[in-house]
Structure 1
Amino acid sequence: MPKLVDHEERRAHIVDALLRTAADSGLHAVTMRSVATAAGVSVRLVQYYFDTKEQLLLAALTRLAVRMGERIRDRVGAVGSSTAPRDVVEAVLLEAVPTDEESRTFHLVYTEYAVLSVTDPVLAGQSFLAAPDEMEGFLVGQLTAAQQAGATDPRLDARQEAVVLLAVSAGLGLSVLLGQRTADDAAAVLRYHLARVFPGRGAA
Structure 2
Amino acid sequence: MPKIVDHEARRRLIADALMRVAAEQGLEAVSLRHVATAAGVSAGMVQHYFRTKDEMMAFAIAVVSERGEARVGAAVAALGDNPPPRLMLRTMIAALLPLDEPSRADGRVALAFFAYATVRPEAAAALRPSTSQLVDFVASLLPGPGAADGAASLLALMEGLGLYLLGGQFTPVQALAVLDAQLDHLFS
Give me the identity figure in percent: 38
- Per the TM alignment, residue 129 of structure 1 is displaced from its structure 2 partner at its CA by 4.9
Higher radius of gyration, 1 or 2: 1
Instruction: Find the aligned partners of 2:150 and 2:123 in 1 and give their Cα distance.
Output: 29
- Per the TM alignment, residue 118 of structure 1 is displaced from its structure 2 partner at its CA by 2.2
Match of 2:160 among 171, 176, 182: 171
**How high is the TM-score relative to the length of structure 1?**
0.83
Residues 135-174 of structure 1: matches in 2 within 5 Å? 135-143=134-142, 147=143, 154=144, 157-174=146-163
Residues 1-204 of structure 1: matches in 2 within 5 Å? 4-126=4-126, 128-143=127-142, 147=143, 154=144, 157-199=146-188
Higher RCO, 1 or 2 (CA under 8 Å, sep at least 6)?
1
Match for 1:71: what amino acid? Answer: R
- Length, aligned pairs only: 188
Match for 1:131: what amino acid? Answer: S
Change (3 A) 1:158 1:184: same
Instruction: Find the aligned partners of 2:63 and 2:14 in 1 and give their Cα distance.
Output: 11
Maintained 8 Å contact 2:98/2:107: yes
Instruction: Find the aligned partners of 2:100 and 2:129 in 1 and give their Cα distance.
Output: 24
- Per the TM alignment, residue 45 of structure 1 is displaced from its structure 2 partner at its CA by 1.6
- Per the TM alignment, residue 15 of structure 1 is displaced from its structure 2 partner at its CA by 0.5
Maintained 8 Å contact 1:75/1:91: yes
Which structure dedicates a bigger proportion of its chain to helix? 2
Maintained 8 Å contact 1:97/1:187: no
**Which stretches of structure 1, 4 residues or more, deviate above 4 A after TM superposition?**
none
Maintained 8 Å contact 1:85/1:142: yes
Consecutive unaligned residues of structure 2, counting only runs of 5 or more, are none
Q: 1:44-65: CA deviations, max 9, x gaps?
A: 2212222222222222122222
Query: C-alpha root-mean-square deviation of aligned residues, in Å?
Result: 2.0
Change (3 A) 1:160 1:129: closer
Maintained 8 Å contact 1:176/1:186: yes
SS of the residue corresponding to residue 79 of structure 1 reads: coil
